[in-house]
Amino acid sequence: MMKSMLTVAAASLVMFTAGSAFAQSIGDGEKTFAVNASKSAIKFVSEAPAEKIQGTANGKISGSVTLNLSNLAESKGTISFPVGSMETGNKLRDRHMKGKDWLNAKANPNITFTLESIADGVADGAGAKGIAVGKINVNGVEAPAKAEIELKYLADKGLFKVEIKALEVKLANHKVEGKQGVVGSKVGETIKITSGIKTDRKSTRLNSSHH
C-alpha cells in the first residue's frame, strides 16, 4: 500500500539538456512548463516475498517545472498529487493504504516532489537524459530523492513527454510503518515508480525574468 507514496517523485521530474537540438527546439533561457494532468500517468510497484502490488495515480497530477537551458543545475520545480487518487485495483487495500497506519491521507493529503537540480544531463537527438535531484514529501516527511529521466520533444504534437526510468523510495525514510510485520513481507521496503508526464503548448510559457 505504501508504494503509492513514491509516485510523486516520479511526476515531478521534467528535465532538459542545453546545447542540443532539443534545447534549440524550445529556445534558450529559462522556461516554465505546466503538467497536463489529463495526458500524464504514474505507475508504482511494490515487490515483497508474499505479494507483488501494482498501482496508478492518474488524473490529478499538478505542478510545473522551470528549466534553465543555459544552466540545468538551476532548474527547479514542484509536482504534487493527492493520496486519494492512488489505486491498486483492490478497494479494501486502497482504503488501508490511505489510512493513518500507512500514507495517512487525512493528515497528509498530498505527495510532493521538489526538483532542486538536474545532474549529468546528456543530449539525445530531440531529447535529453539525466538525473533529477530533489526531495520528496510523503506522509508529511521529506527525504532526498533522485531518479533517471528521459525527456522527448514531440514536435508534431506540440508537447513534451517525460519518462521516469528508475525511482526508488524507501518507506522507512518517510516513517511509514504500516501494520506490524507487513512491510518486508507483503509490502516492499522500497517502492519503484515509473511515470509519463506530458505538457503541451498551451501549458508552456517563457519567463520574463530570472528567478
Burial, 191: exposed, middle or buried (Cβ in 10 Å; 0-12, 13-18, 19+)?
buried
Cell numbers given for 151: 525527456
**Whole-number mean pLDDT of the chain?**
76
CB 167 within 8 A of CB 145: yes
Determine the straight-line distance between the first and last CA of the chain, rounded to whole angstroms. 38
Give the model confidence (pLDDT) of 40-82 as tens digits: 888 888 889 999 999 998 878 888 877 766 677 787 888 888 8
Residue keyed to cell 539538456: 17
Give the model confidence (pLDDT) of 170-193 as tens digits: 999 999 988 888 989 989 888 877
- Rg for the chain (alpha carbons), in Å? 17
Please work out, in degrees rounded to the nearest 5, the angle formed at the alpha carbon of residue 135 by the alpha carbons of 162 and 105: 90
Between 15 and 66, name the one with better pLDDT: 66
Whether this model's pTM surpasses 0.85 = no
Closest CA to 107 of 138, 140, 141, 137: 140
